[in-house]
Amino acid sequence: MRVRPCCLGLEFWATGSTGFGFYTSCSIRAIMDYSTSFIFLTLPVAALAGFLGALLGIGGGVILIPFLVLFMGVPIQYAIAAGMVAVIATSTGSAIGYVRGGVTNLKLSMFLEAGTVAGALIGAMLAASLPANVLEMLFALVLLLCAYSMFSMMGRFRKAENDKLAQHFELHSHYIDAENGRTEYGVTNSVHGLLGSVVAGCAACLFGIGGGVIKVPLMNNVMRVPIKVAAATSNFMIGVTAATGAIVFMRMGYVVPEIVAPVALGVMIGSLSGSRVSKKLKPDALRKLFVILLIYVGIKMALKGAGVDLGI
Amino acid sequence: MRTREQLEHGISLVMAFGVGISGLLLALSLVYGAMGMAGGKQLAVVGILFLVSTPIVRVFMCLHHFTLQKDWRYIALTVWVLLAMALGIVVGATG
């Protein structure tokens, strides 16, 4: 595989089996091989992606992967694998507080993870076998869907009682916050939830993103879990889904330490500072700006998949 | 880790530890890389492995918790999640 040099002059030569698996050694030869320029370009952008992600409550992957593909010339499979590892860092980092505060529903997370891990395996296999331009087109679709879901507001929340399956798995729980005190809630439509998680896990590994865009509305609107719990639980689940995907990608050789290190570290730093700021900020204006950015990047990615370069 | 609170506390500690260590290792590897010193890549590999194992460790902690509670439904679910992760190694090898 020989990949065209891109606008920043970075080139990849990958020969045969690449990256590091559990048994294979790294044989991807990037001329930037830990070059300072790649590190210093990627680190701040990854940090910005993580920062925005934490601010808007979405993973940084949606911003990061297009950047790696469109501007750094990283082949999309490698970018997805790097995103997958970075997602573990952000979701784990931001999940800590919610787990400690008892907002995360650990039982619900384990119940739905049974679906996401299955989806993760399917998604990772698809990511490795689909041609790059199909992946780029599909990724563009996800970006545009993201833009849509950020644009449209979620429906008014109504609490529900446990359904049969939820009762069997004791998915109901409660959480305590300053605003409402103790809030009890039940979980309904658990079969839909489980099936939806398979899709979410598949999408996560196919695109190297957390998949919160699917899981949060799924839990909140379909399973009628309070939004705070849905966001915290989704975040917590992402770690397991992403680790499964990362294992598959590692074994396939798409996890290249030289790419992953600056990406993961940058996203880590960014999401830490982002979650600090987000408590003091109302990010409505930012949200609108971000929707425009998503649409722009989505169209650019779709055109790249179709073999058209706009040059802007 | 008998109660829900103990499990929550344990998991949050493990997550903080995992992300902290891997962040340090990755930062160190970048410093090595930027200065052109050998060993940067190896540090990055260890950092990545730390990061990937953090969620795995916390699934094992859940398994331990559910075992103590003799909660068979959740023991089965947790074992399936671990099995699927292990399957990832096999699936990756064939891709």
Q: Domain locations in chain A?
A: 2-305
Whether residues A34 and B40 touch (CB distance < 8 A) is answered with yes
B46 at interface of A, judged by CB pairs closer than 8 A: no
For residue B73, the chain A residues in CB contact (below 8 A) are 168-169
SS3 B17: helix
DSSP state at residue A222: I
pLDDT of residue A150: 65
Whether residues B62 and A110 touch (CB distance < 8 A) is answered with yes
Strand partners, A181: A177
DSSP state at residue A211: -
Sequence-distant (≥ 6) Cβ neighbours of residue A43 within 8 angstroms: A262, A265, A266, B30
Domain tally for chain B?
A: 1
Give the residue carrying structure tokens 């680190």.
Answer: A43
Taking the mean position of all CA atoms in its chain, how far away is CA A138? 15
In b/e form, how buried is each residue of A144-180, taking b as 16+ CB within 10 angstroms? bebbebbeeeeeeeeebebbebbeebebbbebeeeee
Give the residue ranges of DSSP H helices in A57-131.
61-70, 76-100, 106-129
Which pair of tokens denotes residue A49?
A: 């992606």
pLDDT of residue A31: 36
B63 at interface of A, judged by CB pairs closer than 8 A: no
Which pair of tokens denotes residue A65?
A: 């992967």
Domain hosting B55: range is 4-94
pLDDT of residue A29: 40
pLDDT of residue A58: 65
Q: Round to whole Å and give the CA distance between A155 and B68.
A: 40
pLDDT of residue B74: 95
pLDDT of residue B19: 92
Walk across the sheet containing A29-30 and list its strands. A2-3, A12-13, A29-30
CB pairs under 8 A between A and B: 170
Whether residues B19 and A93 touch (CB distance < 8 A) is answered with yes
A258 at interface of B, judged by CB pairs closer than 8 A: yes
Choose among A97, A44, A95, A86: nearest CA to A62.
Answer: A86
pLDDT of residue A220: 81
Task: Flag residues of chain A having pLDDT under 70.
Answer: 1-35, 56-60, 149-157, 278-287, 289, 309-312
pLDDT of residue A216: 79
Choose among A94, A98, A115: nearest CA to A106.
Answer: A98
Q: Which of A26, A240, A249 sits opposite B59 (nearest CB)?
A: A240
Strand partners, A30: A12
Whether B91 shows a pLDDT value over 60: the answer reads: yes
Backbone angles phi, psi at B70, to 5 degrees: 55, 40
Q: What is the pLDDT confidence band of residue B81, given thresholds at 50, 70 and 90?
A: very high
B1 at interface of A, judged by CB pairs closer than 8 A: no
Choose among A259, A267, A266: nearest CA to A19.
Answer: A259
C-beta of residue B85 within 8 angstroms of C-beta of residue A117: yes
SS3 A174: strand
Q: Round to whole Å and give the CA distance between A138 and A132.
A: 10
Q: Round to whole Å and give the CA distance between A20 and A287.
A: 38
Taking the mean position of all CA atoms in its chain, how far away is CA A23? 27
Q: Round to whole Å and give the CA distance between A188 and A161.
A: 6
